[in-house]
Structure 1
């Protein structure tokens, strides 16, 4: 058995990438990136060690944050490099096949679905919108507000003021979210909601309460970005971050299949 398997990054149209675009591009494990073609379709792949991507090894690696981060960074780098030239259908992290011929077989079997997905995504990129609640840990009181109170009553008053401030911030975040959704309905072709980020995934101060993705046409991108950034204006304790543009990771499900179902392009054979 060959000690290498084919790691697949994305499906795209084979004619969309210039000949020299892949020459300096390296992927997972520092491997070169090449195109495997099937008719008008192509898949970007790299040869990677089979021992690192069998079921048992992947289970171990997925608990190793450093390994996972390195693979995710390489995966993302390849997809973003390709998306600078053409529409791409990103595949899930750690999508591997026995060999290039198996990659071709998958593209042949789902040719119509891949083609329809690429047509749907053409001319669009993904933008992310995150809303954070950044209410202060303590609420400021007017001068003299606690005078004449016992320590216990002063403490309770301070806690009540703190809760009031946080409640106001959460209500403001709901208003910001409603504004973002309205902007998306007007300017985006599709909308995906993701779980709010916590821990190492959360960027910056505050609590992430909304983590959404929008599929936006190139000609609407600047309007979407500027209006989404303004969604938090006049709302104290709320911060809105806009990221992108990215390849359309959140909208890569094949037509007619729920995102929770296993796509042939995502499954290791």
Structure 2
């Protein structure tokens, strides 16, 4: 849906584009005071669409959003974070007032007419998403289990040519004991993996039973070298607002029952569920 502004160096320096943050129903007027948006040069405003929809938009300088300018911004982490935060603040302000379909960061059109045409084509999807997410929030659930134990150390090898005084004869059966330890650790890791899968499936099944919709995402790798936890579930759930307390109680119960560490985050604007109908 994103239409990038012209990147030609011949484009007028004073050209402008329409930046779109979100779409809501026309009968739910969005708040336009408060967040500044991605620029301070123009205010947020409502753009009436067909099919009883309204978009929250802002006029921005086209030169700030050419492909070259955006690629440069992507390489500047603080600057990119500033834009992402400004975009998110507008979306959150609208979502706090009414059901909202957030649009991706840097969704732009050359002018209002093109914005209306493109957004009107998505009207059916927008209405379905608004019905689906009304009075719901997105919650993240991450489940961790203890990581695998440290690998077994091989028995010391006697250096070739070492003098008899420094040679250490291995204890009887040391090689067999080492192989047994390796096999036991491998078996333990396999059992831990199976247990992790069972715990993840059990948590997901119970939380999905409370949620209106769910999505399982790829687990993250270890972030801290000394953190020996293994993430076995990384999922997000669409939960009715009046069931938030129930969700918190359920995750505590599941943590006690499974012995796993469960992290609950939210509530969030339901970004993960507005593209599914």
Please say whether Structure 1 and Structure 2 have the same fold, judged by a TM-score greater than 0.5: yes
Q: Which runs of 5+ in 1 are unaligned?
A: 140-147, 256-269
Looking at structure 2, the residues matched to 6 and 44 of structure 1 have their Cα atoms a distance apart, in angstroms, of 10
- For the structure 1 residues 93 and 199, does the alpha-carbon distance in structure 2 shift closer, same or farther, using more than 3 Å as the test? farther
Tell me the TM-score normalised to structure 2 length. Answer: 0.72
Alignment correspondent of 2:9 = none
Tell me by how many angstroms 1:54 deviates: 2.0
Alignment correspondent of 2:53 = 41
The within-5 A match list for 1:70-219 is 70-135=82-147, 138=150, 166-198=189-221, 206-219=229-242
Looking at structure 2, the residues matched to 52 and 182 of structure 1 have their Cα atoms a distance apart, in angstroms, of 46
User: Which of the two has higher C-alpha Rg?
Assistant: 2
Tell me by how many angstroms 1:241 deviates: 1.0
Q: Which runs of 5+ in 2 are unaligned?
A: 1-11, 152-170
Q: Is the 8 A contact 1:114 1:254 kept in 2?
A: no
**Aligned residue pair count:** 243
Instruction: After superposing the two structures, state which structure 1 stretch, 185-194 or 104-113, moved more.
Output: 104-113
Q: Is the 8 A contact 1:229 1:242 kept in 2?
A: no
Indicate the SS of the match to 2:19: strand
Indicate the SS of the match to 1:214: strand
Tell me by how many angstroms 1:244 deviates: 1.1
Looking at structure 2, the residues matched to 64 and 150 of structure 1 have their Cα atoms a distance apart, in angstroms, of 59
Instruction: After superposing the two structures, state which structure 1 stretch, 243-252 or 65-74, moved more.
Output: 65-74
- For the structure 1 residues 137 and 100, does the alpha-carbon distance in structure 2 shift closer, same or farther, using more than 3 Å as the test? farther
Tell me by how many angstroms 1:115 deviates: 1.8
Q: Is the 8 A contact 2:207 2:250 kept in 1?
A: no
Alignment correspondent of 1:22 = 32
Q: Is the 8 A contact 1:5 1:98 kept in 2?
A: yes
Tell me the TM-score normalised to structure 1 length. Answer: 0.74
Indicate the SS of the match to 2:63: helix
